[in-house]
A = this chain, B = another copy of it.
Amino acid sequence: MSSLTLEDIARLTGVSRSTVSRVVNNHPHIREDVRKRVLDAIQQNGYHPHAAARTLASQRSSMIGLILPHSVGFFFTDPYYPHLTKGIAQACNALDYSLALFLAGTAEDEDKIFPRVARKGLLDGVIIQSGHHGDQWIIGRMVDARMPVVVCGRPFRSDNVSYIDIDNIHAAEQAVSHLIRLGRKRIATIAGPAESAVGIDRLAGYRKALVERAVAVDEALVIEGDFTEAGGFLAMQRLLPAKPDAVFAASDIMALGAMRAAREAGLRIPDDIAFVGFDDLPLASLADIQLSTMRQPVVQFGSRAVELLVDLIENGIDPPRRVIMDTELVVRDSCGLSRR
């Protein structure tokens, strides 16, 4: 039986409820012997504070929400999200917060989820994975409700909201520049969806690299993917007639699909065609030909998002803050350098 209350422990130890509360919450001004006596009683009888009562009285739930909107639900085949979640969960553990996961598989899910996250007294703040136009409304409503929010990935309207991101344009530019430097002439890209910030930004970086190095952009070499392996595979098949000799894919998983298509078409990697992906998730080195990729620190990304959010919760919201994390080009076999 563990439905003891503070009152019970107080009675058991002959002190008042207030004193027990002080002990439980580590407040000062408690005599050592009293503290010990109370702690013992708690230990012996297996007392655990009632979360809801505590939340109601203190107006703090010590719980944060992770919202993965509908637009992200599709991407759940991408290991990016589990890794991000892992980073978030770890930071929550470290900072003594609990994590509520709101995963919208469908648009209707989103409608069901919103009233729940909007409830007062459930969450102290939320992390929203974004990037899609359609996610703006959730972000907006959360901000309007004066709920501390950190967005993962640049939101489309980024005023009044704190977010954490990498410099996608710059990172993509670097990746493509590397391919140019290797002497590749017909560099294609498999971009992310045009409705997503990463899709837009990484494509912009691709174009920028070409323009700055005075390479003409051939639109036949630009194709949109959907962040799935199958999408990468299909995109590559559509790209083949344009005879690319290199591909920059906006995610590792798409790069893997593209490499599979290239191999099926009889192309040798990296001799006939080079590949650079984006993310550097463990699966990048899973393939037979290890994938060169633009590493982003996904797990730390999640952790930093939590740290930022907790800071907002505990020290106030404005002005909105933004954190840009570093990326790093990881050169492996798929672009023709560093052969074993």
Q: Which residues of A contact B (CB under 8 A)?
A: 1-3, 46, 48-53, 55-56, 61, 63, 66, 76-77, 79, 81-83, 85-86, 89-90, 93, 96, 98-105, 109, 112-113, 115-116, 118-122, 145-146, 229, 256-257, 260, 263-264, 282-283, 286, 288
Contacts and interface: CB of A to CB of B under 8 A. Distances in A.
Given A51-B122, A89-B103, A145-B2, A98 B116 contact: yes
A3 B120 CA distance: 8
Contacts of A99: 100-103
A56 B56 CA distance: 8
A98 B102 contact: yes
A314 B98 CA distance: 24
Contacts of A263: 288
A232 to B, nearest CB: 10
Contacts of A86: 76, 103, 105
Nearest to A264: B288
User: Which residue of A50, A90, A120 has the most chain B CB atoms within 10 A of its CB atom?
Assistant: A120
B112 A93 contact: yes
B82 A96 contact: no
A83 B120 CA distance: 30
B121 A51 contact: yes
A282 to B, nearest CB: 6
Contacts of A120: 2-3, 48-51
A322 to B, nearest CB: 26
A201 to B, nearest CB: 25
Contacts of A76: 82-83, 86
A121 B263 CA distance: 56
Which 3 pairs show the lowest CB-CB distances between chains A and B? A52-B55, A89-B103, A52-B121
Contacts of A116: 98
Nearest to A89: B103
Nearest to A286: B229
B63 A100 contact: yes
A93 B101 contact: no
A89 B85 CA distance: 14
A206 B2 CA distance: 44
A43 to B, nearest CB: 12
11 contacts: A48-B120, A50-B120, A50-B121, A51-B55, A52-B55, A52-B121, A77-B79, A89-B103, A90-B105, A98-B102, A260-B286
Contacts of A113: 93
A334 to B, nearest CB: 15
A101 B46 CA distance: 24
Contacts of A46: 145
A101 B104 contact: no
User: Which residue of A46, A49, A56, A113 has the most chain B CB atoms within 10 A of its CB atom?
Assistant: A56
Contacts of A122: 51-52, 98
A277 to B, nearest CB: 14
A200 to B, nearest CB: 26
Contacts of A1: 146
A191 to B, nearest CB: 21
A20 B263 CA distance: 65
Contacts of A3: 120
